[in-house]
């Protein structure tokens, strides 16, 4: 089983990846650093995430999973008054997850809930550390059991075991 990584907008991911580049980009060295039990979220946000969790985002076909994520995205856009577009395929040759501020577009070629939340946090104007903090704490709140089955490698949240080829 391949290890599934939540790669958050890392165009340099792969051979060129190095700690120094990540540090300069503002990523926390260890994802666990940004976990914070006292972090508060809007009540509607937590409610939207829990509704999404009940729909079992990793079940169903890829098309079905995309629909569930699109619905969560619609909810979050309403809550935060955003019109950010979500592209769940390779877009303009971009094949890594990222947020493009000029176009207000999230590109998410691979389905990953944590990566989606990370990029949405960028859409809300959060910097690298803030996006890690927002997405990881929110994911943990809505998916405590999935979170417990993950560990950190640097700032990346990695599933302990491959889940039949699906990302978290
Ligand atoms: Zn980021």
Q: What is the pLDDT of residues 119-133, one digit of tens each?
A: 999 999 999 999 999
> Got the DSSP string for the chain?
-PPPB---S-TT-STT--HHHHHHHT--SSGGGG--TT----HHHHHHHHHHHHT-TTSS-HHHHHHHHHHHHHHHHHHHT---EEE-S-BTTB-S-EEETTTTEEE-SS--HHHHHHHHHHHTT--HHHHHHHHHHHHHHH-HHHHHTEEEETTEEEESS-BTTB--
pLDDT digits (tens, 9 = 90+) for 77-108: 999 999 999 999 888 988 889 999 999 999 99
pLDDT digits (tens, 9 = 90+) for 149-160: 888 877 778 877
How many angstroms does the Cα of residue 145 sit away from the middle of ligand 1?
24
How many angstroms does the Cα of residue 45 sit away from the middle of ligand 1?
20
Residues around the ion ligand 1 (C-beta < 5 A): 8-9, 131
């Amino acid at each position: 089983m391949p290890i599934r990584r939540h790669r958050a907008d890392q165009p340099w991911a792969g051979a060129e990846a190095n700690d120094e580049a990540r540090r300069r980009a503002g990523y926390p060295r260890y994802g666990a650093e940004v976990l914070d039990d006292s972090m508060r979220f809007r009540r509607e946000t937590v409610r939207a995430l829990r509704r999404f969790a009940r729909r079992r985002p990793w079940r169903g076909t890829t098309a079905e999973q995309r629909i569930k994520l699109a619905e969560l995205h619609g909810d979050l856009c309403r809550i935060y008054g955003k019109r950010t577009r979500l592209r769940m395929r390779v877009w303009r040759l971009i094949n890594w997850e990222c947020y493009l501020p000029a176009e207000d577009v999230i590109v998410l070629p691979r389905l990953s809930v944590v990566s989606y939340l990370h990029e949405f946090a960028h859409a809300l104007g959060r910097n690298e550390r803030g996006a890690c903090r927002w997405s990881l704490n929110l994911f943990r709140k809505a998916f405590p059991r999935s979170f417990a089955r993950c560990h950190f490698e640097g700032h990346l949240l990695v599933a302990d075991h491959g889940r039949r080829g699906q990302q978290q």
